[in-house]
A and B are shown apart, each in its own frame.
Chain A
Amino acid sequence: MPPPGGYRQFNFHRTFPKIVWRPGVVVATIFGASAYGAYAAIQEKKRAVTEKFEDVDINTALEPFLKAERDRYWLKLIAKNRDLEEEVMKDVPGWKTGTWYGEPVYFTLGDKWWDPATREVFAHSYQFNENRDLLWRQHSEYAGPKFYDNWFPKSISKYFW
């Protein structure tokens, strides 16, 4: 016999589970994550730029001091080079220092100063000195003695950085 009041109604429709990732939630999550990612990336960029700029500002403050020292060193080096050329070429007849047998290499008007080119400054030096000067920005951070110093003869290891 059926219970009093009858059986409860039977659900004969198709049923769907209640899902967490409804379309609205998915869209909101994607937009939220993108917005937070953009915000975080912008903040990180600002932080990195500020960190670098702090360093750049200090370098700018230092520049006059380094420039003054560099000028003195540079002029000393050039004077030394000129004396060396005088010494090396003293037995060559007709040679005049700073010229090609008396003919000036460059045509300079007035008393204008031109820095000589790197190749000329390093003319009386070994090639690796010039390379080291040109590639100075790529030198390794640590310039002290290395653990592998004794593994190679000096003639080879001076080329390792």
Chain B
Amino acid sequence: MVISKDVHLPSESDLTVDQEITLSTPWLKAVAPYMAKHCEKEANEFMLRRKELEDPRATLKEGAALTNCGVKFLQSLKRSCLAETERLANCVDQSSAKLYLSKCHDDQKQLDACVETNLHVTRPKLGYFSLPHVHNSAAPPPPLPIRDYKAEAAKVLAELPDDYHLRKDYRKYNDWRYNFAES
């Protein structure tokens, strides 16, 4: 593998959270909008930082906070609306092969009402999560890496010995073809 010993990988404890979300797909599809709405701040923060830094190692803390938020929400949901959630999850599981929610809107409305009264989370309208959202993060964005190629080249050239065999031929790219058909 290309990950050498110089590459810093986080320790096992950094990569472990107290509780992962271990729901199956029908249950996840049943509870996802409420969970995402409840943890919207954490989710936006995580996704923004993840996109900015392009590094899974740098956003472990945000990811753990997001998972903890989701787990807490699911625990409170289990305490208040377990029966409705189970009905909706079973409906999602059994009503279509692709686990669509379209046949389960009756059960979904009951769960909507239960979650709204008990947990004060309103289910967002269809398409809410597909819209772009503005999120102001406390962490500043990473600086844009801009390299000064001319300065780097000048530095390399300055380090070369005086009798270095610099190439004198300045031929065009196409002149390096071996035959006519190539490139």
Bound complex: CA A55 to CA B2 (Å) = 37
Q: Which residue of A lies closest to B10 (CB)?
A: A75
B64 to A: closest C-beta gap in Å: 7
**Binary contact track A77-90/B, C-beta < 8 Å → 1, others 0:** 01101100100000
Q: For residues 3 through 21 of chain A, which have their beta carbon under 8 Å from a beta carbon of chain B? A: none
Bound complex: CA A57 to CA B101 (Å) = 11
Q: A53-B127, A61-B129 are in contact. Are A68 and B66 (CB under 8 A)?
A: yes
Bound complex: CA A81 to CA B1 (Å) = 8
List the A side residues contacting B87 at CB < 8 Å.
none
List the B side residues contacting A98 at CB < 8 Å.
1-7
A54 lies within 8 A of B66 (CB): no
B70 lies within 8 A of A51 (CB): no
Bound complex: CA A78 to CA B15 (Å) = 12
List the A side residues contacting B32 at CB < 8 Å.
58-59, 61-62
**Binary contact track B38-51/A, C-beta < 8 Å → 1, others 0:** 01001100110010
**Binary contact track B9-49/A, C-beta < 8 Å → 1, others 0:** 11010011100110000001100110111010011001100
B67 lies within 8 A of A54 (CB): no
Interface centre among B3, B10, B64 (most CB of A within 10 A): B3
Cross-chain contact of B66 among A64, A75, A106 (Cβ < 8 A): A64
**Binary contact track A60-74/B, C-beta < 8 Å → 1, others 0:** 111111011101101
Bound complex: CA A65 to CA B102 (Å) = 23
Cross-chain contact of B3 among A54, A59, A78, A112 (Cβ < 8 A): A78
B2 to A: closest C-beta gap in Å: 5
Name the segment of A113-121, A131-139, A153-161 touching the other chain: A113-121
A79 lies within 8 A of B9 (CB): yes
Q: A81-B3, A123-B1 are in contact. Are A68 and B46 (CB under 8 A)?
A: yes
Q: A57-B126, A141-B97 are in contact. Are A64 and B46 (CB under 8 A)?
A: yes
A99 within 8 Å of B (CB atoms): yes
Cross-chain contact of B126 among A53, A81, A110 (Cβ < 8 A): A53
Bound complex: CA A65 to CA B59 (Å) = 13
**Binary contact track A89-131/B, C-beta < 8 Å → 1, others 0:** 0000000111100001110001011101100110100000000
Bound complex: CA A79 to CA B11 (Å) = 9
A76 within 8 Å of B (CB atoms): yes
Q: A55-B101, A74-B56 are in contact. Are A69 and B2 (CB under 8 A)?
A: no
Could you list some 20 contacts between A and B, CB below 8 A?
Answer: A58-B129, A61-B129, A62-B36, A64-B39, A64-B47, A67-B47, A68-B62, A71-B60, A76-B12, A76-B15, A82-B5, A98-B2, A98-B3, A98-B7, A104-B2, A105-B2, A112-B55, A114-B2, A116-B3, A117-B2
Binding site for A on B (CB under 8 A): 1-7, 9-10, 12, 15-17, 20-21, 28-29, 32-33, 35-37, 39, 42-43, 46-47, 50, 54-57, 59-60, 62-64, 66-67, 70, 97-102, 126-130, 145
The 10 closest A-B pairs by CB, nearest first: A98-B4, A68-B63, A61-B36, A71-B56, A64-B43, A113-B55, A61-B129, A51-B102, A60-B129, A120-B1
